[in-house]
């Protein structure tokens, strides 16, 4: 079963944004993520993982009645929470997806302190077969 693990971040957490961290802290965080991803690959559970640009760069696009795009900044300007990155894993069970999410949540932040960011776990749904 495939699951998407969504790393949530917030302006309200006790840690400053990653772009303000000391270079050594950023390096340790990225090394943790690379090691984490390599383990998922070795275990045959890795599908994809990406970090995302900050919400200040996000755009929301909707189709207008004329069929042209209407573009606005950011998904929820009043919100302090945002999606920082994601993994797609292919695991045997929801329990395993939760274990993987908990391990990702333990990524280090400034001074090596665990971030313990919330990771949302959602099953990737398959479309019905075209024969249905």
Render pLDDT for 102-129 as a digit per residue (tens, 0 to 9). 999 999 999 999 999 899 999 999 877 7
On whether residue 6 sits in a domain, the answer given is yes
Contacts for 72 with CB less than 8 Å, ≥ 6 apart: 59, 60
> CATH number of the domain that 11 lies in?
3.30.70.1060
Render pLDDT for 81-109 as a digit per residue (tens, 0 to 9). 788 899 999 999 999 999 999 999 999 99
Token digits of residue 9: 């971040």
Alpha-carbon gap, residue 115 to 117, rounded angstroms: 5
Residue span of the structural domain in which 80 resides = 2-123
On whether residue 106 sits in a domain, the answer given is yes
Write out the DSSP string of the chain.
Answer: -EEEEEEEEETTSSSPPGGGS-HHHHHHHHHHHHHHHHHHHHTT-EEEEEE---GGG-EEEEE-TTS-EEEEESS-TT-SEEEEEEEEEE-S-HHHHHHHHHHHHT-B-GGG-B----EEEEEPPPPPPTT-
For the chain, give the number of residues: 132
What does pTM read for this prediction?
A: 0.83
On whether residue 79 sits in a domain, the answer given is yes
Q: Structural domain tally of the chain?
A: 1
On whether residue 130 sits in a domain, the answer given is no
């Amino acid at each position: 079963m495939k699951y998407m693990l969504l790393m949530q971040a917030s302006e309200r957490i006790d840690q400053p944004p990653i772009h303000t961290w000391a270079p050594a802290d950023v390096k340790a965080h990225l090394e943790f993520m690379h090691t984490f991803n390599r383990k998922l690959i070795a275990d045959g559970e890795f599908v994809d993982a990406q970090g995302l640009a900050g919400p200040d760069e996000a755009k929301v696009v909707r189709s207008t009645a004329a069929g042209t795009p209407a573009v606005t900044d950011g998904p929820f300007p009043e919100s302090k929470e945002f999606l920082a990155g994601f993994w797609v894993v292919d695991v045997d069970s929801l329990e395993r997806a939760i274990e993987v999410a908990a391990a990702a949540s333990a990524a280090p932040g400034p001074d090596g302190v665990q971030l313990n960011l919330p990771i949302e776990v959602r099953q990737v749904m398959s479309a019905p077969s075209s024969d249905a």
